[in-house]
Structures are given as structure tokens and as C-alpha cells.
Structure 1
């Protein structure tokens, strides 16, 4: 069963007051090299991270702490033979996790048994992955701009689409019938699924469009760009509602809170920006010491998991491979 959702806070002043008293950062050792991706299970009970060290690590969330799922201090470790560049959970099955790797495979993990349920060979080194909200299809993109669509009943690639432009990140709409991708020309391409007919191309940014994220309520999607801007879009009207411009470096990762009210944006800036989707104003910021690779709001709480390009102290030569939680009460 999913956890009961935290009651949304509607007033902007109240949100700022809440985060003034819930701004503790807790760090957890997870990997031996940089963390590329973090994500919460749909019930919010588990957090997974994927790393350049070829491993996926899962933790359980107990109260305000991450607890390892196995006897190892690193939690329960699932292995690829190449870098794990991105991961995503099933939208309604809290035990199923998918990972995309540079080893030219996609793997489906059953976190109850800590075993690989399926390995799907792909044609290239994979860099992004997205599981459709209805659970029927996994899309995976590789470095050669080929996107493969995997049927999750047969675990077979059912269609491939080769694009003639740089594909940076992929996403589904909340009803799984539209497929979005960002490209190096600052555009968002929207295709119907399963026909993969091009519906429209949005010129979203003057610079490379790096990342895209849909909000859980189905109202918005957001794009982040090399121009350091974040654009918020109305899903139905395909109109840009507002632009967040507080960052100074290319925006590499985005995540919406469970209520769609807050948008976290990470870059090479030494903050993660937390913006209000209704007004565009800053609600809070998370201080960081290095570039942020990945950020993920909890599916039912005002709690953020993230990972940066941290280095081990004191030499600061090796990648630390840690993940962090923010939004914990100050007295925790």
C-alpha cells in the first residue's frame, strides 16, 4: 500500500515557513563512484540509485532515514557490466525497477527477491529510460539517438525509432499515449504512441534542451536547457506558462513534488532551486558543493533525494558516490 500523502501546503508563505524548519540534509554512502540517477518506488518506501560503478543500490525509507536492505553497508547491490546511467520504477508496482546501462542492456529487477527478472539486449550504449505510466512499455534511448520500445509482457523490443538529431531525454505523458523527447536544437518532439506519429515540435529553448519531466497531477511538464532556463508548460494547451531563471549553468535534472506545486532544478550551480509552479517564485534552495546529476521528489512527501559530483575528503580526487536527502525536520 502507498503511504498516505502529506497534506499539500497551498499558501506560498506557509511553504517557505515549512522548509525553513525542514531543511536538514542527510548523506548516505551508496557507491564507489559518481551517482547518475536516483528514484523512488511508487509507494515511497524504497529509494534506488544507479552509478558509474556499474551497480544499482536500493534502500528502504524508515521514518526519516534510509536503511540498507541487506547486510552490506551499501544496501542491496544489483549489478550491470557497464555504467548505470538512468533508472525508473514501475508506476504502480512498487517492487519493479528498470535500469539502462552502457553495457547495451536494459534490466528489470524484482526488489523483493533482489534478482534480475529480465535482461533485454539493446543495440547501443543506453543513456536514458522511461517506463510508461500504464506499465506496458519501457522506452530506452542510446548514445546513437536510437529509441527502443520494450513490451513488458514479453520483455522484447517491439519497435525502434532512429532519430536524425541529438536525443537528450525522453518522457511519457500521464496517460501513456504521447511520447516526448528533447533534442540538441532546443526542441521538444511529441509523438503519439504506439503509432509514433509526430504530433508537434515545440521550440522550447534557444539552447540545447537537456531534460524533461511531467508532473504527477498531469497538469504540467517542464524542460531544462543549456541556456540555464527551466520552462514550465501546460500539458493540454502546449503553452509555456512561465520560465525559471535563477540558475546560471545548464539545467541537467528536474523533478516535481507529488502535488505538482514545487519544481526542483539541478545544474552545475551550487544550489538546487525549488520553485513554485503557480507563481514561478523561489520557495527554497538546497545548498550543494558540486554539480547536481539527479534529483527526485518523494511521491507523497516534501522530501528530495539527490546526488552530486562530490569528491571524497580530504584529497577530493576520487568520486564519493553518495546520495542525499533534503527536507527533513530540523530536529530529526
Structure 2
């Protein structure tokens, strides 16, 4: 694998291409790789989840998971178990799916239309947020609701740090709210952006996290100091989705811009730009390779971009 930034830029330019895989009947809202990188899942407006097997640089053997009766807004694999997938739906349920069986093994009813979901690094808890800014914590050992937290501000994405002792929420006020876990009391409120903080992502090392904002800026943060290290500002629209590569070297970000920006985390420089014809609201790097999964507004398509093995 290229070591210098210029070599990496040249390698992407020479070797990368976009591969398109039509699957769903409607827009894809969320894509996510499982922990071993052998499967990719997608959740769609068509109320289904599709689980693909990765063969080389192609997605094969798509299997549909059906059960939700409204749009699937976000999906998230278990951090270490490659067979378990969670989904948040507007049908007011959270479901857990077994990829070996292609069916749900748990269903939890919630109070509102769910829009985001996160699985704790230790695998014992699923957090789900709904349109009314209620965050529900589900114990995955018995699939019972452990607690609910109602907020008076707009809660966007939610995530745990890798150590599993802090819980993060991005808000419509431009703040990052940091709660200790499992106590769930606020320990920090970071005034991060002048615009709505939309998405949040932790890097695989657990030392960094990034936030995408309505001000079209991605901010990169040091977790230990909760200090902003640098910003990325090549996009022109609110940043809807971000993802770190497996080695924490690259950061992909996307929005209504007709390209996905891939940045070098250390320098902030552009490594590659993926030209797309429509807005993109979900991106996910493979856990072991420079292979980026994403979906645009074109109905039903999942796409891959990256350096072939």
C-alpha cells in the first residue's frame, strides 16, 4: 500500500472506479459493513434490509430481510459479532437480525419514529433516537428497554467512544453533548459549529472523532482533550455522512454535493474525489480495505469505490 500522500493520491487516481449494484426498489438510507468485512448491509425506504456478500470487489448473493412496515432509516452491525445487525425504522420498532438466517431474532417496540441507531462497543446496549428527540437504550441481553432520555433540543446522530464509557450526541444547536456511561449525565457540552451538528463518527483507533455540520464543514477532534485539531471544508452543502478508513488515515464525507470528498486525516489534503450524479447521504469504509460503500438518491443502488486488492 502506498506510504506517501502523493503515492496514495496517484494510486486512487490510477486504480479506483465506481461499481454499481442495483438492489432496492426505493432510495437507500444507510449502508454499513460488518466487523469482518465479509458482508455489507443496506437499509431502504422500501422497508427492507439487504445483506450482501463481498467477493473481491463485487457484492453478491443479496438476501432481503423483511419485517419492518415503514422506512428503514439507519442500520448498524454489532461491533464484534459479524452476524448480528440492528435496524431503526419509522414503524416505531428496533429489530436485530441474524445474517445467517436472514430474519429478525428480536423486535423492540419504541415510542416514536426512529431515525438513528448505535450499538455500544461492548455489544450490550443499542441506543436509538426518534423524531421527537427521545433516546432509548435497549439491553441486548434480554432486549428490554433499560432507560429513555427525553431532550428539549434536536438530537441528531448518537455514538459511543471505543472505551464504552462516554456517549456522544450531535445537536441542532451546533453542540456536541458528551455524557458519561452508563450514568448518562452530561459531563461536557462542546460548542462545535455555528450550524447544526449532523453526523458523528469515531475512528478505529478510538483516539479521534469527526463531526459533520450544516455549515458544510467537517471538524476533526482529539478525544482525550476534546479539542478540534483541524477542519475540512471542500463540500458546499451541509455534511450528512462521514466515515473513517480502517487505518484512520482517510476520512470520507458527502452531502448534496455531486462528489464524495476523501481527505487525508493528518494533513487535511484531498486524496480523491468520487464523482456522483446525485446527493449522497450514507458512506461507509470497509473495516480492512480502502473500499468505500455508498448510496445516492438514485433509487435502490448501492455503490463501491476504492483500490482493488
Range class of TM-score, shorter chain: over 0.9
* Other-structure match for 1:313: none
- Secondary structure of 2:194's counterpart equals coil
Separation in structure 2 between the aligned mates of residue 260 and residue 30 of structure 1, nearest angstrom: 30
- Secondary structure of 2:66's counterpart equals strand
- Secondary structure of 1:79's counterpart equals coil
Does residue 308 of the first structure (1) align with residue 296 of the second (2)?
Answer: yes
Q: CA deviation at 1:328?
A: 4.3
* Other-structure match for 2:4: 11
* Other-structure match for 2:281: 293
Matches within 5 A, 1:1-332: 9-69=2-62, 75-310=63-298, 320-329=299-308
Separation in structure 2 between the aligned mates of residue 278 and residue 242 of structure 1, nearest angstrom: 9
Runs of 5+ consecutive residues of structure 2 not aligned to the other structure:
none
Q: Deviations over 1:168-198 (max 9, x none)?
A: 1111100111100000010000001110010
TM-score computed with the length of structure 2 as normaliser: 0.98
TM-score computed with the length of structure 1 as normaliser: 0.91
Separation in structure 2 between the aligned mates of residue 280 and residue 191 of structure 1, nearest angstrom: 29
Q: Deviations over 1:255-279 (max 9, x none)?
A: 0000111000011000100001101
Separation in structure 1 between the aligned mates of residue 59 and residue 67 of structure 2, nearest angstrom: 20
Q: CA deviation at 1:22?
A: 2.6
Task: State whether residues 33 and 52 of structure 1, in contact with CA within 8 Å, keep that contact through their aligned partners in structure 2.
Answer: yes
Task: State whether residues 25 and 328 of structure 1, in contact with CA within 8 Å, keep that contact through their aligned partners in structure 2.
Answer: no
The alpha-carbon distance between structure 1 residues 190 and 10, as it changes in their structure 2 partners (threshold 3 A), is farther
Q: CA deviation at 1:236?
A: 0.5
Q: CA deviation at 1:10?
A: 3.6
Runs of 5+ consecutive residues of structure 1 not aligned to the other structure:
1-6, 70-74, 311-319
Q: Deviations over 1:21-54 (max 9, x none)?
A: 2321000012111100000000000000000110
